[in-house]
Amino acid sequence: MFSGLLFSALLFAAFLAVSFGAVLLCTQPRRDDDTLAARLQGLYRPEDQQSSTLVSMAENAVGAANMLQQALRHDAFNGFRKLLVQSQCNLSLPAFLARSLVLGAVLAVPALLLAPAALPVSLAVFAAGAMLPWLWLRLRRNKRMRKFQEALPGAAELMSRALRAGHSVQQALELVGTETNGPLADEFRQLHQEQKFGVPLREALRALAARIPSRDLQFLVTAIVVQKETGGDLIEILDRTTHVIRDRLRVQREVRTYTAQGRLTGWILSALPVVLLTLTAIITPTYSSVMFHDPTGQMLLAAAAALIVTGSLIIRKVVQVEV
């Protein structure tokens, strides 16, 4: 009986082994399937060193970008942001700073190649190149503000005529934005758009005065706000404000004419040493090379640059008369 049970168990085990072998043989993947699976595993394996390196580099880049954005939100960069808005530049602050650094590097590389030992000169060229976009923005801002200032009396007179014709203050402000052109029209159209979106007139006027650094505009905004709060004849106030603005512009033009010689003298005295040194370095390189390679010459160049900048600031302060 025991031998019969043993035979049955061995027979069952043999049948089970044959069955599993047949199943494995029928379900065995082909060689092409094995190759495809190996390739897919190589592509999507999370432990792949190259993939993990790329992922870590991307994470580091995102982290650095976030840190840079947080740093640029600091109040120390408010002046740059305000300058971009006032000059009506479409660049963002990071893009503007990046272009400034690239321009400084482009100008500093030739200076470094020409005088490898004169590292301070290359740094000075880099700083000057990085400052060029900022100077361009200031010139553009000043030109735009000058146009706004010259058109402001006409805008106040247009508002006065619109009020005489029976229009409201909001309609008069809208009329200034549609009937004028240039920076004045842009700013007053933005003022009208803010009112359409529900911003109170007082807050919209204050935002306009904050965007435009103009005393005459401050007078105009103050006159409108005071009339809205306390009442009074706004037409008469606008007429007097227009008269004051025109007188201020006339005096400013006279002062600018009288100080033109001093400003021209400042530009000539500031540019003359730089131009002479550049011409000397081009015509006779051996004569001026000691200024770039000798440590004493480099110190003298740095002192000369500091004195030129100081003199330019002093001359500018003398000829800049506040009206």
Last residue of a domain, one of 198, 233, 255: 255
The tally of domains found in the chain comes to: 2
- Do 234 and 182 share a domain, yes or no? yes
- Do 193 and 235 share a domain, yes or no? yes
Backbone angles phi, psi at 257, to 5 degrees: -70, -45
Structure-block tokens of residue 197: 């979106």
Find where tokens 């735009």 sit.
Answer: 144
Structure-block tokens of residue 244: 């004051």
CATH number of 161's domain: 1.20.81
59 versus 107: which is more confidently predicted? 107
pTM value is 0.63
Last residue of a domain, one of 222, 240, 255: 255
Indicate if the pLDDT at residue 16 is higher than 50.
Answer: no
Percent of the chain with pLDDT over 90: 0
Least reliable range by pLDDT among 119-133, 169-183, 245-259 = 119-133
Residue 116: inside a domain, yes or no? no
The pLDDT score that the predictor gives to residue 46 is: 46
Instruction: With H, G, I as helix, E, B as strand and everything else as coil, classify residue 85.
Output: helix
- Do 263 and 217 share a domain, yes or no? no
Last residue of a domain, one of 255, 273, 293: 255
The pLDDT score that the predictor gives to residue 29 is: 47
Q: What CA–CA distance (Å, rounded) separates 178 from 145?
A: 19
Could you tell me the CA-to-CA distances from 190 to 146, 196, 197 in Å, in that order?
19, 10, 11
Alpha carbon 45 to chain centroid, angstroms: 42
Residue 314: inside a domain, yes or no? yes
Is 89 within 8 Å of 137 (Cβ atoms)? yes
pLDDT band at 5 (very low <50, low <70, confident <90, very high): very low
- Do 239 and 282 share a domain, yes or no? no
Mean pLDDT of 245-266: 85
Residue 11: inside a domain, yes or no? no
Residue 238: inside a domain, yes or no? yes
- Do 237 and 271 share a domain, yes or no? no
Q: Which residues constitute the domain of residue 172?
A: 144-255
Could you tell me the CA-to-CA distances from 239 to 167, 212, 244 in Å, in that order?
16, 21, 9
Structure-block tokens of residue 109: 């590389």
CB atoms within 10 A of CB 233: 10
Residue 198: inside a domain, yes or no? yes
Q: What is the pLDDT of residues 164-199, one digit of tens each?
A: 888 888 888 888 888 888 888 888 888 888 888 888
Is 169 within 8 Å of 140 (Cβ atoms)? no
Residue 29: inside a domain, yes or no? no
- Do 250 and 176 share a domain, yes or no? yes
Residue 86: inside a domain, yes or no? no
Least reliable range by pLDDT among 26-30, 74-78, 182-186, 291-295 = 26-30
Mean pLDDT of 47-73: 55
Structure-block tokens of residue 218: 């401050």
- Do 239 and 267 share a domain, yes or no? no
Residue 110: inside a domain, yes or no? no
Least reliable range by pLDDT among 98-112, 148-162, 256-270 = 98-112
